[in-house]
A and B are shown apart, each in its own frame.
Chain A
Amino acid sequence: MTSGNPTAPARRDRSSAAVRLRPQQPRQRSRTTRKPRRSVLLTVLTGLVLIYSLLPLFWLLINASKTPAGLFDSFGLWFGEDFALLDNIVATFTYDDGVFSRWLGNTLLYVVVGAGGATLLAVLGGYALAIFDFPGKRAVFAVVIGAVAVPGTALAVPTFLMFSQLGLTNTPWAVIIPSLISPFGLYLMWVFAAQAVPRDLLEAARIDGAGEIRSFLRVSLPLLAPGTVTVLLFTTVATWNNYFLPLIMIRDPDWFPLTLGLNSWNAQASTAGGEVVFHLVITGSLITIAPLIAAFLLLQRYWQSGLAAGSVKE
């Protein structure tokens, strides 16, 4: 860790530039030295795992392009006679008065408010716990660790009863409020803040006359960015994929997230008189995972730098 010395950033820059210049040769050398260590078994295993994880995605992509008849008549892992992806996408968004768009909007709402709020709370709480000393901190620590250990599913029923008493079930709040709490995110930010924010830097800021809020916003927050993005990714994925909580809380399809909506479409195939819309379920699923993939691609570089934080001694 660096000291609060103002020249430190400059030094860091220079050293990082050096690091960037250096690798060319050592990397090649290391490649040649590593070569004999390559394990066929490991490569095969990794390849299998890769296929195992990508195959469903591939299947989804292929089958989203098929007509309802084509879904059952053609080979599952290759394209059918008709390429109906665009038709399917249009049908997905227009079926049942365009309810899919509504579900997409709901999911975005839950993610932006729920996951965004959860991240905000985790950053604030984690930072406070890492930087400040106060009575009862150990108790908070115990509660947070305990909360990490309790699976969300186990809390679902008590949460439902509580929200039912408050008259909040079947409203978006019933999904948003529980999503705001992320014990794991809090714990992660706590550990991260303890590592990433040098006390000396804060001391310096205080000596320069910055208040706690200002030093948090101007000094600490940028340092916490990699951790924040990591927590944001976790909470976003958790909220985006959340199924059980909305399942028990929400009854009105107008407030369904995508997960519930797609399930209700899927369930249509299983009753008398229900319209079978497997092609819409599949296309809808594809559309549903696209934003998650985009979020990962966009945020991963911050996340990676976050994972590397503290790994280099300066």
Chain B
Amino acid sequence: MNHSRSPGAAREPSPTQVLDATKRRSEAIMNTSTRHVVRGLGVACVAMLGLTACSSPGEDSPSSATPAEIQAALDEGGTITVWAWEPTLEQAAADFQAEYPAVEVELVNVGTGPDQYTAVQNAVSAGAGGPDVAQIEYFALGQFVVTEAVADLSGFGATELEELFSPGPWNAVSAADGVHALPMDSGPMALFYNQDVFEEHDVEVPTTWDEYLDAARALNEADPDVYITSDIGDAGLTTSLIWQAGGRPYDVDGTSVGIDFSDEGTARYIEIWQQLIDEDLLAPIDSWTDQWYQGMAQGTIATLATGAWMPANFESGVPSGAGSWRVAPLPQWEEGVDAGAENGGSGLTIPQASENKLLAYAFIDYVTTGAGVGARLDGGAFPATVADLESEEFLDAELDYFGGQQANQIFATAAADVADDWTYLPYQAYANSVFNDTVGQSYVSDLPLTEGLQRWQQSSRSYGADQGFDVQE
């Protein structure tokens, strides 16, 4: 919320009158436009899985409380339902129940990513059957904030937690009008690379994206089966790399949305990626498929630029790559600059319809800032909390999978380097879903990447306008 228009300096009459009038007017505008947007996103819910119209959230339970009131609620006990797919929460929830025996936590995995969001939206629209806590990825949070489906946590004291979290994830969960989730993990980006492959072909590990392009050529030339990485169009990767390159295509202020892929940062990204595409240096493999894991196991995919949560996935998905893979800082767009970006990561929200917000808040506080963090880190989660990112135990840990490398030091540096002025669209989940119809064309045809991004921009703009957002040209 950097660009809120200042209401004061306009008319003649007395200052208070002006302020009141402006306030009333802006409230009115805010209300109608919010309602408009809510209705619009409701239609989006129907369109997304063809299920049901989402209406406004239902009844409220207290959305503010003092620590003493929360403690009283913990003593009194009750049951809360948590919808999340993150595996380390299981241990954290068990610990929480051990500490507060009166409270029962029902941890339910209702689906991963988009499935979960549909489930939450449906529960919101049904006004019942929803969870008390829901895991939502940072990029998708905007949709739930703008439809007021999740509670503002500042009433519980969440605003005071800012210092505890690293800037990337905190920026993702907070806005001028409140804090809508507590960061559970974060994904500062780094470059994972297969050391064996680089050594075999005698190629240097790139430190800039220019070198990355050269390495891609060298590897592919040495062995046509080896690609520097795989990419058939991944909205998350593209936006993250644009973020790192300094591009800020999204400008969001309440319901006013600007989308512009013609800035300098985006141009930097296009310059390198267009060459990778044109010279067929990217393996045509979709991320997260079995083929993808296979490519990383067999060394045909040599690097992966992604979030610091990846080690857990490496361990379970590419067990045979243990010892071969290493971590390096994310290549830079400009030599000598330390710019970072986030990829992935999610926070825990409390849906507005929750009937037990005090317990829900106590729980998410416990697993994101309290004793639950330790259990989750032991389980392989990547912290969003500064204290853990800076602790010696974390920094000095030698990761067996990466040949005993102290990779956390690279991740911690990356977390500190993240520029914290990035914003996603309030309907990023939709925008990402049409990425492959638009930008994806650049990967399979002669359509220039610039043109592909323009199409994505157009399609995101018109969707936003249809949903009642005030889309800036």
Chain B residues with CB under 8 A of A267:
111-113, 115
What CA separation (Å) do A68 and B319 show in the bound complex? 7
Whole-angstrom distance between the Cβ of A280 and the nearest chain B Cβ:
11
Whole-angstrom distance between the Cβ of A100 and the nearest chain B Cβ:
14
CB-contacts of B63-110 with A (<8 A): 85-88, 108-110
Give the number of chain B interface residues (Cβ < 8 Å): 45
What CA separation (Å) do A278 and B310 show in the bound complex? 17
What CA separation (Å) do A275 and B318 show in the bound complex? 11
Instruction: Report yes or no: A73 in contact with B109, Cβ–Cβ below 8 A.
Output: no
Bitwise, A226-258 to B at CB < 8 A (1) or not (0) is 000000000000000000000010011100000
- List the count of A-B residue pairs having beta carbons below 8 Å apart: 102
Of the listed stretches A13-21, A144-152, A157-165, name the one at the interface; the rest are far from the partner chain.
A157-165
Say yes or no: is A140 at the interface (Cβ < 8 Å to chain B).
no
CB-contacts of A182-201 with B (<8 A): none
From A68, which residue of chain B is reached at the shortest CB distance? B319
CB-contacts of B306-323 with A (<8 A): 307, 309-310, 312-313, 316-320
What CA separation (Å) do A35 and B372 show in the bound complex? 76
Instruction: Report yes or no: A274 in contact with B313, Cβ–Cβ below 8 A.
Output: yes
Instruction: Report yes or no: A271 in contact with B297, Cβ–Cβ below 8 A.
Output: no
CB-contacts of B335-356 with A (<8 A): 344-346
Chain B residues with CB under 8 A of A77:
none
Instruction: Report yes or no: B312 in contact with A273, Cβ–Cβ below 8 A.
Output: yes
Say yes or no: is A112 at the interface (Cβ < 8 Å to chain B).
no
Say yes or no: is B290 at the interface (Cβ < 8 Å to chain A).
yes
Instruction: Report yes or no: A277 in contact with B293, Cβ–Cβ below 8 A.
Output: no
Chain A residues with CB under 8 A of B126:
164, 169
Interchain CB contact (< 8 A) of A272 among B109, B293, B310: B310
Instruction: Report yes or no: A278 in contact with B293, Cβ–Cβ below 8 A.
Output: yes
Bitwise, A164-190 to B at CB < 8 A (1) or not (0) is 100001100000000000000000000
Whole-angstrom distance between the Cβ of B162 and the nearest chain A Cβ:
23
Chain A residues with CB under 8 A of B287:
270
From B319, which residue of chain A is reached at the shortest CB distance? A69
Say yes or no: is A276 at the interface (Cβ < 8 Å to chain B).
yes
What are 7 residue pairs bridging A and B, where the CB atoms are less than 8 Å apart in the complex?
A67-B319, A68-B317, A73-B298, A160-B52, A272-B309, A272-B313, A273-B382
Footprint of B on A, CB under 8 Å? 67-69, 71-73, 156-157, 160-161, 164, 169-170, 248, 251-253, 264, 267-278
Q: Which 3 pairs show the lowest CB-CB distances between chains A and B? A: A276-B317, A270-B288, A72-B297
Footprint of A on B, CB under 8 Å? 49-52, 85-88, 108-113, 115, 119, 122-123, 126, 129, 185, 187, 287-288, 290, 293-294, 297-298, 307, 309-310, 312-313, 316-320, 344-346, 380-382
Q: A69-B297, A273-B312 are in contact. List 6 more A-B contacts (CB 8 A).
A: A156-B50, A267-B112, A267-B115, A271-B113, A272-B344, A273-B88
